[in-house]
Each structure stands twice: as C-alpha cells, then as structure tokens.
Amino acid sequence: MTWLRADQLVVAIPGQTPCSEHALTIDFKPGEVWGVLGPNGVGKTTLLHTLASLTTPAMGQVMLDDTPLKDLHRTHIAQQVGVMFQAHQDGFPATVFETALLGRFPHLSPWDMESEQDLALAEQALAQLDLTSLVQRSLSTLSGGERQRAALATLLTQQPEIWLVDEPTNHLDLHHQVAVMALLKEQALRQKTVIMSLHDVNLAAQWCSHVLLLYPDRAPIWGRAETLLTQEYLEPLYRQSLAVTEVNQRPVFVPVAQVYKSID
C-alpha cells in the first residue's frame, strides 16, 4: 500500500507570493478518489505536478510512504506515481500503440526489451479504452477525445499506485466521460489512489469520495465529498450562484444567471 501525503504544502504559482496559511496537509489514502476543484488559474494543475515531483513546491513537501519525494529517484517515483497531463505535447509522430507502451518505461532497466507481458499490458489498456481499432494510427491523426484516451492508456499501462489525472474528461463525449470515470473508480476499488482535477462539480459529486476545494482568496478546504459539495462551499469557490437538485441521491449543481454576492 502506497500513501501519498501533502505535508504543509504550498504550491509555487508564478506571479503569486506563497502564503503559509493556505498550506495543505492531506493524506491521500489507497481506495480514495479525490477531486480537486477550483476556478481557472488557482493551481489545480500545478498541485498535480507538485504531487508528482515535476514542480518544486514553494513551501512544505510531498511524502511517498514517509519519504520526501525530493529524496527519491525519479524512476522510483514513476513506478509508484503516474500522471496524465491536460495539454498533450506534440513531440515526434508516434502510433497509439507506442504511446501506450511508454507506460512500461519505469519498470524496465536500460538494456531490457519490452517483454510479451509488457506488450500484453499495453494491448489490454488500449482495449479497455476502446482504442483497439486505432492502435496503428499516428497520434497526430486522432481527435482530441481519442488522444485523451490514448494518454489514459499510457497511465493504465504504467500501473501506478497513485493516479494523478488532470481533467480526465476533457474533450470526451458523454459515453466516454462515464467510461473513463468508471475506469478511475475501478482503480480505487483495487486500492489505488486517484487524484484528479475537475471542472465539472457534478462529476465530482457522482464519482469522488473526497474533494479538495482550492479558493483563489482564502484557505483551501478538503474532506469527504458529501460534506463539502454544497452550495455553501461551492458558490464562493466559483463566485457563482448555483441551484441544486438531486439525481440518484447525488447533488446536481446548475449555475444560475443570478448575480453572486459574496457574504463576506
């Protein structure tokens, strides 16, 4: 079991002075699905990158099983922690299959060739994401949603203990949104930890066990989703009036065209 812990963590956002009162001290435990919510530019992506040790925090540290990330070798981190990025970088042309197979990298030593087992893992991941018919296609010829799924396939092939996923449902049609969220939930059922940034509060309400609300102007709050996903906490988060209803015993929030007035 791998635990990820944010310890007095303040992420470094360019052009902002870090504030120790906004520090995060959170245990991300196996089996939990975390949704990171907040308005644009509040640092959701930076937080995920910091949790993966891709960005240095402004204050505090991230611990993986009681060892600070900065003391761990990058390969060791990559064996435990996987990241899916929001913006996909355009490097050299590559096929969907090659992209999925990249996930095996941290598990192989330099002289190793990918084994039959590695290839099988990549194939399974692609099948799970409905990409089997596209395996030989070049990544650059895919639609946004297909690329998003190919990136998730890489993560699935990597088989990390901690899943850091930036906007997993970006570009996805409704069916694939549900499929992807179900896939992430399934990882949590297998005692992995899933931490994802989300724009859609309703996805968080439906799929997340815990949420972290990042406010632009005050200290963040975190906890169980059913406690925090209320108008009381969400309206100041987005500075937006919300109406709430219920579907399948889960809250559904709808923005309403009414001027939001801050209470404070």
Partner 1 sequence: MLDVRSKARVTRRAIFLPIALLVLLAVLSMVLSVTQGSVALSPSAVWQALQGQGSILNQTVVMELRLPRVLSAFATGGLLALAGALMQILLRNPLADPYVLGISGGASVAALAAILLGLTGLLMSGMAFIGAALSTLLVFGLAGQLSHNSTLRLLLTGVVIAAGWGALITLILALAPPDKLPGMLYWLMGDLAYAHTPWLAWLVLVPVTVLLVPLGRSLNLLARGPMQAAALGVNVKGLERLVFIVASLLTAVAVTTAGSVGFVGLVVPHMLRLVLGNDQRLILPASALAGGCLVTLADTLARTVIAPEQLPVGVITALLGVPTFLYLLQRGRV
Residues lying near partner 1 in the complex (CB under 8 A): 52, 54, 74-79, 82-83, 85, 89-95, 97-99, 101-103, 105-106, 108, 110-111, 113-114, 119, 123, 135-136, 158
**What is the Cα–Cα distance from 181 to 204, expressed in whole angstroms?**
10
Task: Kindly give the residue spans of alpha helices, DSSP state H, lying in the chain.
Answer: 44-51, 74-80, 96-101, 116-128, 144-158, 174-189, 201-207, 225-228, 231-238
Give the shortest CB-119-to-partner 1 separation in angstroms.
6
Contact 98/136 with Cβ under 8 angstroms? no
**Residues 6+ positions from 23 with CB-CB distance below 8 Å:** 8, 9, 10, 59, 60
Residue 217 sits at the vertex; the CA angle it makes with 213 and 219, to the nearest 5 degrees, is: 50
Give the shortest CB-47-to-partner 1 separation in angstroms.
15
Give the shortest CB-91-to-partner 1 separation in angstroms.
4
Quick one: 92 or 175, whose CB is closer to partner 1? 92
Quick one: 60 or 82, whose CB is closer to partner 1? 82
Quick one: 66 or 90, whose CB is closer to partner 1? 90
**What is the Cα–Cα distance from 69 to 52, expressed in whole angstroms?**
8
Q: Beta strands 162-166 and 81-84: pairing type?
A: parallel
**Residues 6+ positions from 146 with CB-CB distance below 8 Å:** 131, 134
Quick one: 72 or 183, whose CB is closer to partner 1? 72
Q: Which residues pair with 24 in a beta bridge?
A: 9
Q: Estimate to the nearest angstrom the gap between the alpha carbon of 34 and the chain centroid.
A: 8
Quick one: 23 or 165, whose CB is closer to partner 1? 165
Give the shortest CB-70-to-partner 1 separation in angstroms.
13
Give the shortest CB-3-to-partner 1 separation in angstroms.
20
Quick one: 157 or 177, whose CB is closer to partner 1? 157
What are the contacts of 69-77 at 24+ separation with CB within 8 A? 75/106, 77/52, 77/53
Give the shortest CB-241-to-partner 1 separation in angstroms.
37
